């Protein structure tokens, strides 16, 4: 490397030993010749980046990093470039975090660092508003209503659909198949409506249905109250096929979706439903309601499936006991033993985090100002969390990222790695992300990064 | 039973009532009652062949499965079984289904739903009853919500429905609540019973 020969980059930074190496970049320790301040310089190989078409990601990395100011996030001082290389000049951070990380990821629960100890750690407390912390600890989750003005933040593209109707207890009861006497009057196969439950968020369900509508060439319109209307383009035996999908909220993580034929031939509808829609919905369906689909219409149930999506545990986690307690308010009774009891844990429910697509760097800034944390095009937090609340989850997801992305990262760049890795999430299709880690584990970190 | 050549209704099953009388008491026409009798015969002879609907037969008709236990189906069965003799007779069948007729006044449907949910017949829907019902539904659907989540749902509903805040829902409160949330009663109406429009009735009568 030419810079190393001369050892001075752009006449400004004296470059020292390499700290770490990734697929596209190397990170060196360096010293500002004027101020003699220690920095880390990330040298990105333009060719390599261009080859895989990730230039946009680099640009975005720059734009996001420039915006973010938090003691726990590596600050980007400046960006320089030559014909072949891009240089990020970053804050140089020492490796105290790594020691903490090791203690958090200790596979032995009895020696593993406790939640209280984590929160006492100076790294966590850096930049933490003591008042905020106290507040968060004393006030129970449900008492902390999100500020009213946050509700209006759900207005982005994805959120065009109004929040699904919230079901009250009697609504829930009325879903029972035992109360549906229509079985006496008609053959089960001809049922006009079918229901399934899902543990995905409303927006995941909506985007799934959108995808399906697209692949089936159905025109989709969104109505109030979580209603999606789909219409075929071809004129069938009894007119154009019309299908309604209505989403009801039982809890924020638990939805009921009703599919209903509104127009067209029943047989054609049944064919589409059973051969196209049901298989395509497999990813998000928790169980089909036993609406006269024989004795039990539900899929094979897998308790782990639920615990993963609920607690955000990645599949390989259940075998290793060292996952930090991600469970905010564990709702699932039978997985209670899986996650550590979280009475003292202030890690918030994932419920208040929404998936979101389609915002941009500009949106990020705007939302930050308005109290919502948001990361380029994937994430939106509806509430503010202190780093202490978020970091355990955050770090837990760091580990997963590192598992995924090979490459060694030096001590000095731990922070950088975290940031970098979280960003990588966006490149993955939404479904595979949610499948791999559930939602909590990868969404919360964003909130942390984007700075409370 | 040797009466193949006879006119309709010659074979009297226990609890059989005159269609004319039933038609007068209900929203159904005589023809419709006769059509219901055909359905009744079909259901009541599906297992025990004694012309009376037993619980197993009722479950078979609803779920295509005679041994499927379901709290809600049990409740419906109990309410249909007005004489409380463990079976549904024809008169009971018609009068009960009348509640589900699209033209039956809302107030009757509301009252029926109230009795349905008043598990212990105390004249009130109590908190515990509601919780039990919610849990039953969740179990039926293989859903497991924590105690806490269920409590929250029940609490929230009571906040809306229990107007005087005495911890139980009385018939008047229920009426108000149901009027505000008509979707609650969607199972209380069966479009099939409107027989002019229903292909089902035609099929059965023929």
Give A57-76 pLDDT, tens digit per residue: 777 777 777 766 666 667 78
pLDDT band (50, 70, 90) for residue A389: very low
Residues 6+ apart with CB under 8 A from A74: A40, A65, A90, A91, A93, A413, A415, A416, A419
Contact check, Cβ <8 Å, A292/B39: no
Say how far apart CA A109 and CA A324 lie, in whole Å. Answer: 10
Residue A398 has pLDDT above 90, yes or no: no
- Give per-residue pLDDT as tens, A368-385: 333 222 222 223 233 333
Say how far apart CA A294 and CA A401 lie, in whole Å. Answer: 43
Mutate: best of B32, B142, B197, partner A, most A CBs <10 A: B142
Predicted confidence at residue A270, as pLDDT, reads 82
Average of per-residue pLDDT across A275-300 = 61
Q: Which residue has the higher pLDDT, A99 or B176?
A: B176
Predicted confidence at residue A397, as pLDDT, reads 35
Residue with tokens 């289904």: B97
Residue B104 has pLDDT above 50, yes or no: yes
Predicted confidence at residue A42, as pLDDT, reads 87
A166's tokens: 């919230």
Picking from A52-56, A287-291, B4-8, which range would have the lowest pLDDT averaged per residue? B4-8
| Mean confidence (pLDDT) of chain A | 58
Highest mean pLDDT among A100-114, A172-186, A280-294: A172-186
The long-range contacts involving A426-430, CB below 8 angstroms and separated by at least 24 positions, are A426/A375, A426/A376, A426/A377, A426/A378, A427/A57, A430/A204, A430/A207, A430/A355, A430/A357, A430/A378
Binding residues of A for ATP: 42
Closest CA to A248 of A362, A170, A327: A170
Q: What is the pTM of this model?
A: 0.46
Predicted confidence at residue A72, as pLDDT, reads 64
pLDDT band (50, 70, 90) for residue B184: confident
Contact check, Cβ <8 Å, A295/B43: no
- Give per-residue pLDDT as tens, A122-181: 766 665 555 444 444 443 333 333 333 333 333 333 333 445 566 788 888 887 878 888
Average of per-residue pLDDT across A90-100 = 71
User: How far off is chain B from A298, nearest CA to CA, in Å?
Assistant: 8
Contact check, Cβ <8 Å, B65/A295: yes
| Mean confidence (pLDDT) of chain B | 84
CA angle B1, B2, B4 (to 5 degrees): 100
Query: Using CA atoms in the order B63, B66, B67, B72, what is the torsion angle rounded to 10 degrees?
Result: 50
What is the pairing mode between strands A38-45 and A219-223?
unpaired
Predicted confidence at residue A119, as pLDDT, reads 72
Q: Which residue has the higher pLDDT, B198 or A213?
A: A213
Q: What is the DSSP letter of A167?
A: P
Does B76 lie at the interface with A, CB-CB under 8 angstroms? yes
Predicted confidence at residue A187, as pLDDT, reads 54
Does A107 lie at the interface with B, CB-CB under 8 angstroms? no
Average of per-residue pLDDT across A314-329 = 33
Tell me which residue in B43, B141, B147 faces A197 most closely, judged by beta carbons. B141
Predicted confidence at residue A347, as pLDDT, reads 34
Q: What is the DSSP letter of A275?
A: I
Average of per-residue pLDDT across A9-17 = 85
pLDDT band (50, 70, 90) for residue A291: very low
Instruction: Dump the DSSP string for B38-60.
Output: HHHHHHHTSSS-SSSB-HHHHHH
Picking from A126-140, A259-273, B34-48, which range would have the lowest pLDDT averaged per residue? A126-140
Average of per-residue pLDDT across A208-237 = 84
- Return the axis-axis angle of helices B90-99 and B30-44, rounded to nearest 10°: 120
Closest CA to B144 of A328, A337, A332: A332
pLDDT band (50, 70, 90) for residue A325: very low
Backbone angles phi, psi at A35, to 5 degrees: -95, -10
Predicted confidence at residue B92, as pLDDT, reads 92
ipTM at complex level: 0.83
Residue with tokens 């100890």: A117
Residues A133, A124: contact at Cβ < 8 Å? Answer: no
Residues 6+ apart with CB under 8 A from A452: A70, A128, A129, A132, A373, A384, A385, A386, A387, A390
């Amino acid at each position: 490397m030419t810079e190393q020969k001369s050892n001075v980059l752009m006449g400004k930074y004296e470059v020292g030993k390499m700290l770490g190496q990734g697929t596209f970049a190397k990170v060196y320790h360096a010293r500002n010749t004027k101020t003699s301040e220690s920095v880390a310089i990330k040298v990105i190989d333009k060719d390599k980046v261009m080859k895989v078409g990730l230039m946009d990601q680099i640009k975005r990395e720059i734009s996001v990093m420039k915006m973010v100011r938090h003691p726990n996030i590596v600050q980007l001082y400046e960006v320089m470039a030559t014909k072949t290389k891009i240089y990020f000049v970053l804050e140089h951070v020492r490796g105290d975090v790594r020691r903490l990380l090791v203690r958090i990821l200790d596979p032995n629960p009895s020696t593993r660092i406790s939640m209280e100890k984590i929160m006492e750690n100076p790294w966590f407390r850096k930049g933490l508003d003591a008042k905020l912390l106290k507040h968060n600890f004393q006030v129970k989750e449900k008492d902390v209503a999100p500020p009213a003005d946050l509700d209006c933040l759900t207005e982005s593209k994805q959120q065009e659909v109004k929040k699904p109707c919230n079901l009250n207890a009697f609504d829930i009861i009325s879903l029972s198949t035992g109360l549906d006497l229509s079985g006496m009057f008609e053959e089960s196969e001809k049922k006009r409506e079918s229901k399934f439950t899902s543990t995905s968020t409303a927006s995941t369900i909506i985007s799934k249905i959108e995808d399906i509508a697209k692949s089936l060439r159905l025109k989709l319109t969104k109505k109030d109250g979580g209603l999606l209307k789909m219409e075929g383009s071809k004129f069938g035996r009894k007119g154009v096929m019309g299908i309604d999908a209505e989403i009801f909220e039982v809890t924020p993580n638990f939805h009921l979706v009703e599919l209903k034929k509104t127009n067209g031939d029943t047989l054609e509808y049944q064919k589409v439903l059973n051969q196209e829609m049901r298989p395509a919905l497999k990813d998000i369906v928790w169980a089909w309601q036993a609406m006269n689909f024989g004795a039990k219409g539900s899929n094979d149930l897998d308790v782990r499936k639920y615990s993963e999506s609920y607690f955000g545990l990645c599949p390989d986690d259940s075998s290793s006991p060292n996952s930090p307690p991600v469970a905010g308010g564990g709702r699932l009774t039978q997985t209670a033993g899986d996650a550590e009891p979280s009475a003292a844990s202030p890690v918030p429910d994932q419920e208040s985090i929404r998936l979101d697509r389609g915002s941009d760097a500009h949106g990020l800034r705007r939302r930050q100002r308005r109290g919502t944390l948001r990361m380029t095009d994937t994430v939106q937090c509806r509430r503010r969390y202190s780093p202490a609340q978020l970091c355990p989850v955050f770090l837990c997801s760091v580990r997963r990222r590192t598992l995924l992305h090979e490459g060694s990262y030096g001590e000095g760049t731990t922070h950088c790695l975290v940031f970098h890795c979280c960003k990588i999430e966006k490149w993955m299709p939404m479904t595979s992300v949610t499948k791999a880690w559930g939602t909590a584990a990868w969404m919360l970190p964003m909130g942390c990064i984007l700075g409370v | 039973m040797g009466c193949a050549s006879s006119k309709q209704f010659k074979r009297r099953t226990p609890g059989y009532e005159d269609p004319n009388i039933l038609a007068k008491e209900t929203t159904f026409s005589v023809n419709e009652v006769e059509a219901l009798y055909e359905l009744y015969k079909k259901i009541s002879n599906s297992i025990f062949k004694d012309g009376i609907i037993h619980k197993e037969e009722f479950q078979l008709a609803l779920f295509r499965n005679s041994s499927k236990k379901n709290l809600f189906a049990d409740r419906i069965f109990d309410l249909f079984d007005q004489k409380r003799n463990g079976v549904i007779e024809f008169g009971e069948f018609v009068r009960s289904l009348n509640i589900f007729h699209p033209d039956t006044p809302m107030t009757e449907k509301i009252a029926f739903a109230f009795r349905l949910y008043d598990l212990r017949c105390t004249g009130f829907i109590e908190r515990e009853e509601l919780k039990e019902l919610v849990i039953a539904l969740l179990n039926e659907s293989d859903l497991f919500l924590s105690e806490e989540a269920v409590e929250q749902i029940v609490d929230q509903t009571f906040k809306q429905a229990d107007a005087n805040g005495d911890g139980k829902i009385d018939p008047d409160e229920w009426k108000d609540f149901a009027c505000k949330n008509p979707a609650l009663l969607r199972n209380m109406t069966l479009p099939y019973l409107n027989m002019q429009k229903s292909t089902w009735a035609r099929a059965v009568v023929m």
